[in-house]
Amino acid sequence: MRRGTEIDRLYDSHAQPLYAFLLSLTRNEADTRDLLQDIFVKLSREPHLLDGVRDERAFLIRLAHNATIDLIRRRGSRERTKDRFAAEIISPFAPCDEPDGRFFRDELSAALVELPPDQRAVVHLKLWEGLTFEAIAEVLEISPNTAASRYRYGLDKLRERLRPLYEEIK
Amino acid sequence: MDDFEQRLKRQPLRQLPADWREGILAAAKAVEPADHRSRTAHPSFLSTLNHQLSTLLWPHPKAWAGLAAVWIVIVTMNMSMRESAPAVMAKKASPPSSEMMAELKQQRLMYAQLIGGGDQPADRPKFFPMPRSGRVGMMMT
């Protein structure tokens, strides 16, 4: 009973950001659901997994990242996966009624797909999870300098791709 | 963060579909915890055997170990003696000498004459041993 309650709590606290992160990486809703379910099944099967963990969110994002990397490796080469994701692209952003806003989100979504997954993960965690480079480094098991450089590279690509649109609607 | 980053950051993310909650949590709650599963798993044949042997031998483990060692020594010695005995006999046996061969030939010839009916008289009475009392009676008469 207590295990069930704990899983409910973890889901209600962390499922939304995990969903957004997974969708940003996979861009596929079915894969995102499978990965999200795998994470909570793992938590249920190993109830002591979170014992002694200081930051639950960071730990769960790391699980999500590792699960996504495993999925990509299982599926074969990165290019094939990217093609598949591109074919079934789903925007990680909420729908927008306002035309300019909707266009910007669509363009941003398309620009994010063109980033390599490691840069996309850092950009997502920095912009939409609000993590510091130190926290991102810990989650993705890279150095803070690597996290910062990946963010800079990713952001420069987004800026270049979206500059005309951004200047127009600013 | 500059304006561009702020603009990106303000874009709201897609909401998690509400109907996923029930399915995902049901799947998660359907699995047994790993430690519980290992506790309730059936013991293997070897572990059962080990447990039974431990229970049986636990009261005097040194005595059982000594007995087992003695048996091992006995069996080993028995097998080594069995393997070495014919070799020893074969080593000790020497080829028969010519005198012995001649003697054996002579004995074989005598045996053939004894059992052969050709040169034995047919009317010769067969000797049947009699009791000593009977022999004494014959001498008296």
- Tens of pLDDT, residue by residue over B58-88, are 667 788 888 999 999 999 999 888 776 655 5
Block means of pLDDT (10 residues each) for chain A, 170 residues, are 79 96 93 95 91 91 93 70 60 88 90 93 95 94 96 95 75
C-alpha A156/C-alpha A150 separation (Å) is: 10
Residue A49 vs residue B44, higher pLDDT: A49
Identify the bridge partners of residue A93 per DSSP, sorted by sequence position.
B13
Shortest alpha-carbon distance between residue B31 and chain A (Å): 6
The whole-model pTM stands at 0.62
Q: Which of A150, A20, A144 is nearest to A91 (CA)?
A: A20
Out of A3, A23, A36, closest to residue B14 by CB: A23
For chain B, count helices (H), then strands (E). 7, 0
Chain B hits for A41, Cβ within 8 Å = 27-28, 31
- Residue B29 predicted with pLDDT over 80: yes
User: What are the residues whose beta carbons fall under 8 Å from the beta carbon of A69, sequence distance 6 or more?
Assistant: A117
pLDDT above 70 coverage of chain B, percent: 58
pLDDT at B97: 83
Average pLDDT over chain B, rounded to whole? 76
Amino acid at B80: S
pLDDT at A144: 96
Query: Residue A57 burial by CB count (10 A; 0-12/13-18/19+): exposed, middle or buried?
Result: middle
* Numbered residues of chain A with Cβ closer than 8 Å to any chain B Cβ: 3-4, 7-8, 11, 15-16, 19-20, 23, 33, 36-37, 40-41, 43-48, 90-95, 104-105, 108, 127-128, 155, 158-159, 162, 166, 170
- Say yes or no for a CB contact (<8 Å) between B24 and A166: no
C-alpha A65/C-alpha A137 separation (Å) is: 12
Chain A hits for B6, Cβ within 8 Å = none
pLDDT above 90 coverage of chain B, percent: 28
Residue B51 vs residue A35, higher pLDDT: A35
Phi, psi of A90 (to 5 degrees): -125, 130
Question: Is ipTM beyond 0.90?
Answer: no
Chain B hits for A102, Cβ within 8 Å = none
- Say yes or no for a CB contact (<8 Å) between A33 and B15: no
Place of tokens 């990217």: A82
What's the mean pLDDT in B106-127? 71
pLDDT band at B98; cut points 50, 70, 90? confident
pLDDT band at B42; cut points 50, 70, 90? low
